[in-house]
C-alpha cells in the first residue's frame, strides 16, 4: 500500500510549497508510481514489501512523463542508467543504498516513523518550510532561493 500522509488539519490549508511531500511505499512500484516517487521531497519504503523498477525499456518503450528526468540528479548518471536501461527490479535495501529512497524500514516501523516526521514538519512555521524547500530544491543558497 502506498498512501499520502495524514497531516494535521492546520497543515491541510498550507500552500503546497510550504508542505513537505512524503510518501511511503509498502508494495511494488514499477512504472506506475515510480515517477511520482521521484518527484517527492522524501521517500520511505517497507523493507519486506517493496520492489522498485522502471520496466519500460524491456517492453520496447521508454519511461513516459518524468520517468527518466529526475533519476540522474537524484542517484547519479550510472545508477539512473542501470535503473532505466536494465528494466530490473530493485529491492528496497538497494534502492536505499542508491539514494532512491530516504529510508527502508521494517513494515511495523514504517507508519509510526513517517507519521512522526510529518507531524514534526507540519508543526514548523510555513514560511521556513517553504524557503528551506526552495533552497534544497534548487541546490543553492538562501539568497538564490529568495531571488526565484
Beta-sheet strands, E only, within 31-138: 42-46, 51-53, 90-91, 103-105
Beta-sheet strands, E only, within 1-148: 2-4, 22-25, 29-30, 42-46, 51-53, 90-91, 103-105
List the catalytic residues. Answer: 35, 56
> What's the chain's length in residues?
148
Beta partners for 2? 25
Amino acid at each position: 500500500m502506498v498512501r499520502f500522509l495524514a497531516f494535521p488539519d492546520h497543515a491541510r490549508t498550507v500552500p503546497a510549497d510550504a508542505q513537505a511531500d512524503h510518501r511511503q511505499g509498502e508494495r511494488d512500484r514499477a512504472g506506475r508510481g515510480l515517477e511520482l516517487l521521484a518527484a517527492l521531497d522524501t521517500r520511505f519504503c517497507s523493507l519486506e514489501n517493496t520492489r522498485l523498477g522502471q520496466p519500460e525499456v524491456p517492453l520496447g518503450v521508454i519511461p513516459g512523463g518524468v520517468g527518466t528526468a529526475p533519476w540522474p540528479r537524484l542517484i547519479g548518471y550510472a545508477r539512473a542508467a542501470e535503473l532505466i536501461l536494465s528494466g530490473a527490479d530493485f529491492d528496497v535495501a538497494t534502492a536505499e543504498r542508491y539514494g532512491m529512497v530516504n529510508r527502508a524500514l521494517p513494515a511495523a516501523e514504517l507508519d509510526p516513523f513517517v507519521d512522526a516526521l510529518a507531524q514534526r514538519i507540519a508543526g514548523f512555521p510555513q514560511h521556513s518550510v517553504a524557503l528551506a524547500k526552495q533552497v534544497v530544491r534548487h541546490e543553492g543558497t538562501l539568497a538564490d532561493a529568495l531571488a526565484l
